[in-house]
Structure 1
Amino acid sequence: MNLQFFASRTISWYMAKKFLLTSMAVLAALVLVLQTLDLLGESGNILAYPGNGEPQLWQYVSLRVPQLIARFLPFAVLLGAIITFVTLNQNSEIISMKAAGVSAHQILAPLIVASLGISALSFVFNDRIVTRAAATLRAWEAVDYGPIPKDRGIVTNVWVRSGDDLIHAAQASGRGAGVRLVDVTLYDRIGGTLETIVTAKTGRYDRGGWLLHDVRRFDVTRGLTSDLPTLTIARGVTPDRFTLANVDADERSFSSLRTAIADLKAAGRPTEALEAGLWHKLSGPLSSALMPLLAGVAAFGLARSGRLFVRAVIGMGLGFAYFVADNFALAMGNIGAYPPTLAAWGPPILFLLIGETVLIRTEE
């Protein structure tokens, strides 16, 4: 029995090179077509803002392309593997390798190793580029494709509820107990009736409450205004309520998201959906390494038997079934129906077992 991982260096390099070139060509074609269609649908909104023109269209493309690459890279790897296997099968190269004693796993090994490299690059690309592009594009869309405000780690226009009271801060900056508020307004309500409006220039977290400075208090019932040097309000409202009001897993890097989850846990807030997104930042790129195994059914069988097309369809069906299961599990994780680790790692493990079972029962 041949127990070597690779059949030979020459065969492995030949297959890996063919697979990588095919996958990248498929990815380029997918991104080109999808970006063209997306730009056609969004160009009207971009150009509707006064002063926008061709530079803004290219800016949109530069922000959208990384997201398209990240989303459709596993699809491209799947199609690249199927095309590679079909081509090798039609040219009787698979038959030649099997006749020389090369096992099915050794035929798949170069493609799996190459796809592991793609997975590693995909993780770095997603973590460094895609998250920033997604955050910038969402901020740009929020201002209707106008000038994007500079991000200095400041959260703006924050609303927090404390019992019946409403608190508004024009700006919130800092982290933990060091959070500072600017232009604070408290709407003091009793039983749904507005009693007092308190405004302050600044506020900071102090011993379980918020200490406001330069305070002006307006009594709605009596119509009287009074000035106070300081006033403590909203006891029990933690700083994360202001700074972590909107945490999007797609817009944060792995380390940043992990830090945000730790802060939310410390504040006693639910984090299951974000934890599922955190683990999916690892399992998502690794799905590329699973595609050659699922497409492997297209590599074997006689091309002249007339079943090569059926095998290719089966491989494609297995790959797309994985993406459906992955999206479904992630959605269930986001609503708390699945545990975060199961939502992220369940589909890859399940389809790894399915792919191995099909390969072993049919070829090994």
Structure 2
Amino acid sequence: MDFFPSRILAVYMAKMFIVRTLAVLALLVLVLQALDLLGESGKILAYEANGEAELWTYVSLRAPQLVARFLPFSVLLGTIITLATLNQNSEVVSMKAGGLSAHQILAPLIVTSMGVALFSFIFNETIVAPATDRLMQWEKVDFGPIPAKSNIRTNVWVKDGNNLINAAKVTGRGENVILQDVTIYNRTENGLRSLMQGDQAKFTSSGWLLTNVVQFNVSAGTEDKSSEMLIGDSIRPDQFTLSNVNANSLSIFALRSAIDELERAGRPTMSLKAGWWHKISGPMSSILMPLLGAVAAFGLARSGQLFLRAVIGMALGFAYFVADNFALAMGNIGAYPPILAAWAPFLLFFLIGETVLVRTEE
């Protein structure tokens, strides 16, 4: 159970592993950022006042996303390169001849990958989420001036039983919410019963006070007008102040608050819960990579199967990412429970990696 019998050997392997992982990550981000910038530069420069500074702004907002997305891939490739090099130089043979087990050989890489996973989580929360939110806002204005954060929400829909309520603009929070350009679709099971429109709605203790009301009765074909009307006594103000939530653009604590608020408003949160759990399981995928790529470390290099072993290691790693994306997609549509969608691939491939390692090397 002594996984680090040699401190010098552990530091040597950890240093090899982290250097190769960072080198692969830098290469991937550099190439992918260049390709992405080539595709988006036309849209950015299409805005009249944009120039080189805006291109660098785009890079500063896009690069953190690329780092977060491809860090686990880099850990996988760094693992395979490190272990294949050690195998080719017969260093793995020397370690096993010195009495080290397969798990003891992999222990320095796994501990280092834990540090990478912790860095990935902190990086995602402090840099990637704000950058993603900023980039989404910038793209909505076609790369014009980046809008400042505002409490104004537009085109908000709320369901009240069979009825649908649309507000073109929503301002304020809490009981001070004001709705502008309100349209109410009064529906029955068979179709639309009446259509009501108003200039403004304010929240009161008895409901929403709608002004300058025009009501059209579909079945009778008549139109009625009134200066004021009280509607929606069961509709809470927070149902209008909740805009679409993107899990990638919020930190884990902000996302938890948004989920709670959405649940109180009666809105579906299945996909957001899966995204919340994935904020934890996603960075931890780095810990799996040394285990999945371990097949490249063992077997005699002179047997001619080193390349095949490296390919098998890459196949296991990429299969994990495919399974992870599939499970997350199933969680988003409600087919899997959120916690299962986030953690099932991790647990499954941990068992696969351990099974392969134990049956072949232990």
TM-score, reference length from structure 2: 0.91
The offset of 1:63, in angstroms, is: 0.8
Q: Does 2:212 match 1:216?
A: yes
One-letter amino acid of the structure 2 residue matched with residue 324 of structure 1: V
1:14-50 CA distance string (max 9 Å, x none):
1111100100000000000111111111111111111
Q: Secondary structure at the match of 1:17?
A: helix
Distance 2:195 2:300 in 1: 82
The offset of 1:196, in angstroms, is: 4.4
State whether residues 168 and 186 of structure 1, in contact with CA within 8 Å, keep that contact through their aligned partners in structure 2.
yes
**Matching residue of 2:11:** 13
**Matching residue of 1:59:** 57
2:178 to 173, 176, 181: 181
Distance 2:338 2:6 in 1: 41
State whether residues 179 and 205 of structure 1, in contact with CA within 8 Å, keep that contact through their aligned partners in structure 2.
no
Q: Secondary structure at the match of 1:336?
A: coil
Q: Does 2:168 match 1:172?
A: no
**Matching residue of 1:250:** 248
State the number of aligned residues.
Answer: 354
**Matching residue of 1:198:** 198
The offset of 1:264, in angstroms, is: 2.0
Q: Does 2:315 match 1:352?
A: no
Distance 1:172 1:7, change over 3 A: farther
One-letter amino acid of the structure 2 residue matched with residue 87 of structure 1: T
Q: Does 2:318 match 1:320?
A: yes
Q: Does 2:300 match 1:302?
A: yes
**Matching residue of 1:72:** 70
Distance 1:120 1:222 in 2: 65
Q: Secondary structure at the match of 2:18?
A: helix
**Matching residue of 2:333:** 335
**Matching residue of 2:96:** 98
One-letter amino acid of the structure 1 residue matched with residue 237 of structure 2: P
Distance 1:153 1:17, change over 3 A: farther
State whether residues 167 and 179 of structure 2, in contact with CA within 8 Å, keep that contact through their aligned partners in structure 1.
no
One-letter amino acid of the structure 1 residue matched with residue 171 of structure 2: A
**Matching residue of 1:262:** 260
Distance 1:132 1:179, change over 3 A: farther
- Aligned positions of 1:234-249 closer than 5 A: 234-249=232-247
Distance 2:329 2:3 in 1: 37
Distance 1:88 1:267, change over 3 A: same
State whether residues 205 and 239 of structure 1, in contact with CA within 8 Å, keep that contact through their aligned partners in structure 2.
no
State whether residues 294 and 315 of structure 1, in contact with CA within 8 Å, keep that contact through their aligned partners in structure 2.
yes
Q: Does 2:127 match 1:129?
A: yes
State whether residues 252 and 279 of structure 2, in contact with CA within 8 Å, keep that contact through their aligned partners in structure 1.
yes
State whether residues 87 and 297 of structure 2, in contact with CA within 8 Å, keep that contact through their aligned partners in structure 1.
yes
Unpaired stretches in structure 2, ≥5 consecutive residues: none
Distance 1:100 1:237, change over 3 A: same
Distance 2:43 2:62 in 1: 15
The offset of 1:180, in angstroms, is: 1.2
Q: Secondary structure at the match of 2:202?
A: strand
State whether residues 17 and 79 of structure 2, in contact with CA within 8 Å, keep that contact through their aligned partners in structure 1.
yes
Calculate percent identity across the aligned residue pairs.
58
1:166-189 CA distance string (max 9 Å, x none):
431413332xx4461253524465
1:232-277 CA distance string (max 9 Å, x none):
3223333343222311111111011111111222233322111111
One-letter amino acid of the structure 2 residue matched with residue 152 of structure 1: S
The offset of 1:90, in angstroms, is: 1.1
The offset of 1:88, in angstroms, is: 0.8
State whether residues 131 and 252 of structure 1, in contact with CA within 8 Å, keep that contact through their aligned partners in structure 2.
yes
Of stretches 143-152 and 183-192 in structure 1, the one that deviates more from structure 2 is 183-192
Q: Secondary structure at the match of 2:296?
A: helix
Distance 1:312 1:222, change over 3 A: closer
Distance 2:104 2:66 in 1: 32
State whether residues 154 and 167 of structure 2, in contact with CA within 8 Å, keep that contact through their aligned partners in structure 1.
no
One-letter amino acid of the structure 1 residue matched with residue 274 of structure 2: A
State whether residues 12 and 110 of structure 1, in contact with CA within 8 Å, keep that contact through their aligned partners in structure 2.
yes
TM-score, reference length from structure 1: 0.90
**Matching residue of 1:290:** 288
Distance 2:223 2:264 in 1: 41
The offset of 1:55, in angstroms, is: 0.9
One-letter amino acid of the structure 2 residue matched with residue 103 of structure 1: S
Distance 1:299 1:307 in 2: 11
Unpaired stretches in structure 1, ≥5 consecutive residues: none
